[in-house]
Each structure stands twice: as C-alpha cells, then as structure tokens.
Amino acid sequence: MPRDILIIGAGEAGRMVAAEVTAHPELDLRVLGFLDDDPLLAGAEIEGLPVLGGTGDLVRVAEERRPDEAIIAIPSAPGPLIRRLLRLCREARLAFKLVPGIREIIKGEASFHQVRPVNPEDLLGRETVDLQEEPLRGLLGGRRVLVTGAGGSIGSEICRQVARHGPAKLMLLGRGENSIFEIENELRETHPRMDIESVIADIRDRRRMLHLGRELRPEIVYHAAAHKHVPFMERFPQEAFVNNVHGTGSVIALAKEAGAERMVMLSTDKAVDPRGVMGASKRLAELLVLRANGEGDTRFLSVRFGNVLASRGSVVPLFLKQIERGGPVTVTDAEATRFFMTIKEASMLVVQASALGEGGEVFILNMGESIPILELARSLILLSGYEPEAEIPIEFTGLRPGEKLHEKLMTRSEAEVSEMGEQLMILRPALPENLDLDATLERLEKMAREERAEELSRELLDLAGRLGDVL
C-alpha cells in the first residue's frame, strides 16, 4: 500500500512536490491533498488535488483522511508558523518533513528527494544567510591565514570556510591539543595539498604571541579564542579578564608584529549594554580592537554574534541532551528571548567581514526577530517526538548572574552610526571619551594577577554599567 501524504502549502513548492510524486510512482506515495491558509483556495482543486482546509484544520483533516505523513511546503514560513505546525502535527500524531527553502529550490528543481526532516535551524523563522563569496577569493587566495581558537565550534568552521578559498598557508592556533588535532586531520583529508600548520599556544602569553607573529607572519588573523560561558565568568572573573581582554591584546600585538593586513575578532551581543563579567570583558576586547585600528597599517574590526545553534555548550545541544535523558528541560525564564544564528552563518559572517571591512567597524548579521527560549525548548521536544510538559517536563531555573532577559544587538548611539543592509549591519562606533582605557586595563590586570576576584568582579560590573550608559 502506498504511503498517504498531506502537503501543507499549496504554493509553488507544494505543487512541485505533488507533481514529483505523481510523476514517480516508484516512490510509492499518494498525495491526499493540500492545506493552505489562502482564502481564495478554500475548496479549490490544484493539479486535480483538493485543498482540504487551512493549517488550522490539520488535526481535523488528519483524523478524517488518516495520512501517514505531512510535508511542510512553505519555504518562506516564519518561525512561529513552523513551530505552530510542529505542535499541530504532534497533536494529530502525524510524522512531518520539510521542503527545502527558496534558495535551494532556485538552485535546482525541488524534488521529493530533497524533502528532509525538520532541523533545529528551521525554527529560526528565516532562511539561513548565504553571503557573497566573490570578495573572499581575492582576500584569502594565496594568503597566509591564522585562526585562534581553531579547535572550537566556530573557529573550526572558519578554518573550513577559509580552506575552500585556497590560502597559501592555514595556521591553526589553540591550546586544546585534541581539538586542534581533530580539525587538522579533517582539513588534511579534505584539502590534502594545502599547507597546514598547527600551533599549540596560549593567547594569554604575550611573549609567545609576539614570537609567533614574527615566525608565522600571517596576513589575515581571525581571533576566535575566548571564554564564553556567562556563569563561569561570573565565578572566575580573573579568567574572563586574562583570556578575553589580555588575550585579545596579545593577539592584536601578534597581528601588528606580523604586519598583518587584517585582524577580525569574534564578539558577542552580550557586549551590548553588558550586565555581567563576560559581556564586560568582551566589550573591553571590542574597545581594544577599535583602538588598535589606526595605530598602524593593520585593519582591525569586530564581528558581533547572537547565540550560535549547535555550538559546543550552547542551549540547543543542552536541550537535546536533556530531552534524550527524559528531561527536565531547563529554561531560565518563561519570558527570556535570544538571537540565534547557525555555525555556518557565524563563520561566513566573520570571513565576509574580513573582506568588506575597512577597519574600525563592528559587523552584525541581520538575524531577524529574537526567539523565545521557552518556545524553542517546546519545539525541540516536539521535534524529538515527545509532548512538552506532558512527556518531557520543563523547569524554570531563574536568570543566572550576568544573564539578561533580552539581548540587544547594538546600543542607541551605535544605531546612529550604522549601515543597515539586507544581510549585514555595519557599525562604526567611537571610543568613549570619558574612559581612560590604559589606566583601566592596568588596574584590572593588577587585580587579576593578585587573585582579587571579588574586587575584580565588582570593578568589571561597575565598568559594564558605565559602558552601558556611555555607549
């Protein structure tokens, strides 16, 4: 017996899937009809198949027609609609898959073989961003490129993106030997002729960074090494300062010593109006990068991220592990929202910024609307085949020290000096006039060196408040 499918969306993508199923009986599938919210299609027939109702009728239609599977064929569907359809499919006890996005359809005819399971990134409510590749070939081809934090989730993806554009040499710097070993082996398999050099080193060692600048002579530097876990940095402010601030200063020194053409630092939306130690440390790092620009020939710029889906230690892998264990899934606050992007988007944004940046900018990916964390948790539970709350409990733990209810991508003053493109926002901020950066860094470094953790934390939080007011 053929499997019966219900197509949600009677637009071009849905019709193409229906035509594909009809043209290929070997698929052993039968289309029962469409669901579509266009009132003009109510009761109509498309390609000889009935429009059985709107998306709100999914449960009723599933009970009446008994389909085996639903195909969501609305490539431009916003995140809330996708998440709503997942809930309805779950309520109807109906398996579901997704038709590829508009960009994939344009690249090649949509076929049933392209229909795939729903992935966490589909819950973003937008198509992932494909950035321009042409400027990258001229920037990276035949150049010496260094990536710090090369073994991390984003650092390793930056290495993959860079490798595609034929650098003369790709240098992988990190202090975790196992992760560097893994990305080196992967790149040697995928790019066997590429000149790859791994370097085990700590960015906090300024002397070592200066030596590597002279020895390796990178032309392009991507600085992805950082501590990012907010609660840990609240507990260990010395590490936040020494790694995120002093370490960034050391990489800046490396780039200057090497005579590099460009250096790009990875930052975070938590640096905007920072409320905690981690955000304050990354804001200070942004200021170091901003000040370094103009002190020599090297162009320095920053890229500001939201949360990166599926990166190590991020919320999606945590939720999935909790679901696999049977729960509970822990959410900080029912009202909390975050901006999300994929690892590929994050790495492409960094590489794109290095090609477009003239120096002194902060680049931000246009990530659309922020997503409620509770809604994301419920959708991931549905994706895993369970009923939220009933089968997998959700617990609210409260915001942890240093966390905000809602993140922002830029301050008001930054918005006044921004360029808003379709895919990228480019900020050209200025250094705060009333901040003596050298004196501040000297004072903080002394506290970190003397292990005065509580005093250092208070100073960073006070500084975070003042930076939020000024910028």
Residue 466 counted as domain residue: no
Whether the pLDDT of residue 76 is over 90: the answer is: no
Its pTM stands at: 0.80
Helices 206-216 and 247-258, packing angle to 10 deg: 30
Residues 108 and 139 both lie in one domain: no
Give the strand order in the sheet containing 169-174: 196-200, 169-174, 144-148, 220-223, 262-268, 299-305, 362-365, 424-427, 418-420
User: Mean pLDDT lowest for which of 119-133, 328-342, 394-408?
Assistant: 119-133
Residues 357 and 244 both lie in one domain: yes
- 409: confidence class by pLDDT, cuts 50, 70, 90: confident
Contact partners, residue 322, CB within 8 Å, separation at least 6: 328, 329, 330
- 102: confidence class by pLDDT, cuts 50, 70, 90: very low
User: Mean pLDDT lowest for which of 134-138, 181-185, 235-239, 438-442?
Assistant: 134-138
Residues 92 and 165 both lie in one domain: no
**What mean pLDDT do residues 124-151 have?**
78
Residues 105 and 138 both lie in one domain: no
Residue 468 counted as domain residue: no
Q: pLDDT at position 108, please?
A: 44
User: Is the distance from CB of 467 to CB of 459 less than 8 angstroms?
Assistant: no
Is 228 part of the annotated catalytic residue set?
Answer: no
Residues 255 and 143 both lie in one domain: yes
Residues 100 and 244 both lie in one domain: no
Residues 196 and 303 both lie in one domain: yes
The residue from 97, 107, 169, 270 that is catalytic is 270
Total domains in the chain come to 2
User: Is the distance from CB of 138 to CB of 354 less than 8 angstroms?
Assistant: no
Range of the domain at 36: 3-118
What is the spatial distance between Cα 381 and Cα 327, in angstroms, rounded to a whole number?
10
The rounded mean pLDDT for the chain is 87
Residue 22 counted as domain residue: yes
Residue 404 counted as domain residue: yes
User: Mean pLDDT lowest for which of 131-145, 155-169, 248-262?
Assistant: 131-145
Residue ending a domain, among 71, 91, 118, is 118
Residue 449 counted as domain residue: no
Residues 96 and 193 both lie in one domain: no
DSSP category for residue 311: -
